């Protein structure tokens, strides 16, 4: 019943306010992004260390009339999915899809997070399960994308890497002003799983997709709406989910997507919404060490977003137009050097001005270069190969390629070396440079992992 569903939501909201034990590894390797995964030192820990009522393998299910809700409930892992969780959610999607009494499905997450994609703790502790894990995730995302049932992805928090696959597969994607998305898997030696990279290419185009996928630049809720990664933006908070359920509970099993969209619009009218165009609040952070696990600070005091600046888009188009990783890296590095030199030695009035285009803001190439340097060369090259292949791939074929690539990477030396560097209390993984990129591109490992030409 609706009362029962609201009781679950209220109880869940109360529980999520409690303090969660952070993982030991999350304090290592410098400042971690809020979009980063919180790895734990104990490789044999249970899949979830937080107890919820009615919890089923990391999922808190509830229902209200014709509405079914799957709330991801692993806050200590920003709701990332291990094998059992992915299989459980896929089973529920199938169950609800075949139930004629179900009109709408809502996906959400607890503790200011929506979904973190693959559970790196699980993968690091059980690399032999990589094939089964990524196949389960691919199956889940495929079922969500193909479902006939109207669905709402309520992402009022962090969406990391593969989490975009779950969100984008929903009929409607609702984000909040405090929501944020970032690709982070490449920092650990993997690629973003599921449909994430293809969705980026389809929504924002190749240059911007390359930039977001390679650098892990974080995107706030309003920019997600502006870039087409979300369909609705709400000013609401934790009460939004309960309000949405209350509205949706009144529709029949035969209601259409237009009926659901009308109710979503009614909810936005109630809780408030913002329009694309107002300044948002995310960019490269000042003074943040971008070495380590994840290099972007997603705190509210970060610089204003560059993603609403046409000049920034022009710079991205110029630096990330190439399909070659070496060319992209070299161009970003050249811009970073040029802007650093210009800042150190401002030209005198009599000095000739360069005819070459330069970034209006020096932090753009500096931040991008720092992110590229801190990303393992093999996973970065594999990520770019997948991005480049996206325009000519169907969604299902792309997700199969991404899954196959992650299995190969997870069982390879680079992923294990990255994890080991984290376990060794912040020991540095070798910084990526042009020589290392050239070596990776020439030794055939990229093509072996992806099945694609690097």
- Which of 250, 271, 292 finishes a domain? 271
Domain count along the chain: 2
Same domain, 39 and 158: yes
- Which of 213, 245, 271 finishes a domain? 271
Same domain, 108 and 175: yes
**Residue 165 maps to a domain:** yes
pLDDT, tens digit, for every residue of 198-216? 999 999 999 999 999 999 9
Average pLDDT over residues 294-313: 56
- pLDDT tier at 320 (50, 70, 90 boundaries)? very high
Average pLDDT over residues 417-424: 79
Q: Give the model's pLDDT for residue 419.
A: 83
Q: Mean pLDDT, the chain, as a whole number?
A: 76
Which structural domain range is residue 144 located in? 2-271
**Residue 50 maps to a domain:** yes
- pLDDT tier at 413 (50, 70, 90 boundaries)? confident
Q: Which CATH number does the domain housing residue 232 bear?
A: 3.90.226.10
Same domain, 170 and 31: yes
pLDDT, tens digit, for every residue of 236-294? 555 666 666 666 655 555 556 666 666 666 655 544 444 333 333 233 322 222 222 22
Does residue 1 carry a pLDDT above 70? no
Q: Look at residue 294 and give its three-state secondary structure.
A: coil
Same domain, 7 and 130: yes
Same domain, 248 and 338: no
Q: Beta-carbon neighbour count of residue 448 at 10 Å?
A: 12
* Cα dihedral 84/87/91/92 (nearest 10): 60
Q: Which residue has the higher pLDDT, 383 or 426?
A: 383
| Buried/exposed code over 204-230 (b: 16+ C-beta within 10 A; e: otherwise) | bbbbbbbbbbbbbbbbbbbbbbbbebb
Cα-Cα-Cα-Cα dihedral sign, residues 133, 136, 140, 146: positive
Q: Give the model's pLDDT for residue 282.
A: 30
**Residue 276 maps to a domain:** no
- Which of 248, 271, 294 finishes a domain? 271
**Residue 285 maps to a domain:** no
Average pLDDT over residues 79-84: 95
- Residue 173 backbone phi and psi in degrees, to 5: -120, 105
Does residue 80 carry a pLDDT above 80? yes
Same domain, 329 and 260: no
Burial class (CB in 10 A: 0-12, 13-18, 19+), 13: middle
- What are the structure tokens assigned to 451, written together? 């099945």
Return the top range by mean pLDDT from 28-32, 75-79, 132-136. 132-136
Q: What is the pTM of this model?
A: 0.78
**Residue 350 maps to a domain:** no
Give the CB-side neighbour count of residue 322, counting CA atoms within 13 A: 12
């Amino acid at each position: 019943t609706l009362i029962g569903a609201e009781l679950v939501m209220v109880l869940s909201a109360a529980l999520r306010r409690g303090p969660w034990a952070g993982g030991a590894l999350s304090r290592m390797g410098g400042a971690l992004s809020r979009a980063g995964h919180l790895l734990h030192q104990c490789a044999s820990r249970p899949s979830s260390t937080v107890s919820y009522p009615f919890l089923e393998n990391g999922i808190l299910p509830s229902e209200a009339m014709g509405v079914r809700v799957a709330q991801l409930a692993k806050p200590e892992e920003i709701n990332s999915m291990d094998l059992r969780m992915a299989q459980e959610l896929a089973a529920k999607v199938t169950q609800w899809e075949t139930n004629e009494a179900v009109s709408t499905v809502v996906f959400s997450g607890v503790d200011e997070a929506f979904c973190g994609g693959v559970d790196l703790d699980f993968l690091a502790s059980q690399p032999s399960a990589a094939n089964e894990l990524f196949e389960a995730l691919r199956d889940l995302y495929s079922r969500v994308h193909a479902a006939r049932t109207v669905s709402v992805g309520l992402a009022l928090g962090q969406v990391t890497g593969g989490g975009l696959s779950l969100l984008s597969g929903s009929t409607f994607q609702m984000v909040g002003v405090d929501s944020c998305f970032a690709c982070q898997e490449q920092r650990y030696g993997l690629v973003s799983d599921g449909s994430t990279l293809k969705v980026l290419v389809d929504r924002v185009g190749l240059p911007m997709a390359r930039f977001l996928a390679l650098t892990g630049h974080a995107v706030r809720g309003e920019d997600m709406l502006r870039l087409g990664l979300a369909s609705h933006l709400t000013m609401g908070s934790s009460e939004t989910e309960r309000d949405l359920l209350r509205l949706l509970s009144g529709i029949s099993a035969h209601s259409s997507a237009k009926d659901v969209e009308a109710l979503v619009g009614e909810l936005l009218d109630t809780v408030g919404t913002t329009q694309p165009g107002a300044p948002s609040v995310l960019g490269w952070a000042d003074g943040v060490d971008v070495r380590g696990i994840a290099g972007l600070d997603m705190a509210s005091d970060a610089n204003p977003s560059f993603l609403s600046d046409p000049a920034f888009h022009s710079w991205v188009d110029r630096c990330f137009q190439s399909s070659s990783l070496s060319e992209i890296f070299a161009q970003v590095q050249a811009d970073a050097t040029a802007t650093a030199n210009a800042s150190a030695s401002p030209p005198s009035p009599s000095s000739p001005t360069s005819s070459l285009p330069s970034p209006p803001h020096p932090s753009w190439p500096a931040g991008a270069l720092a992110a590229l340097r801190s990303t393992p060369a093999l996973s970065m090259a594999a990520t770019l190969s997948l991005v480049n292949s996206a325009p000519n791939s169907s969604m299902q074929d792309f997700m199969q390629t991404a899954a196959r690539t992650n299995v190969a990477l997870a069982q390879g030396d680079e992923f294990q070396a990255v994890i080991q560097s984290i376990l060794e209390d912040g020991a540095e993984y070798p910084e990526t440079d042009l020589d290392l990129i050239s070596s990776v591109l020439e030794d055939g490992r990229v093509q072996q992992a992806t099945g694609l030409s690097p």
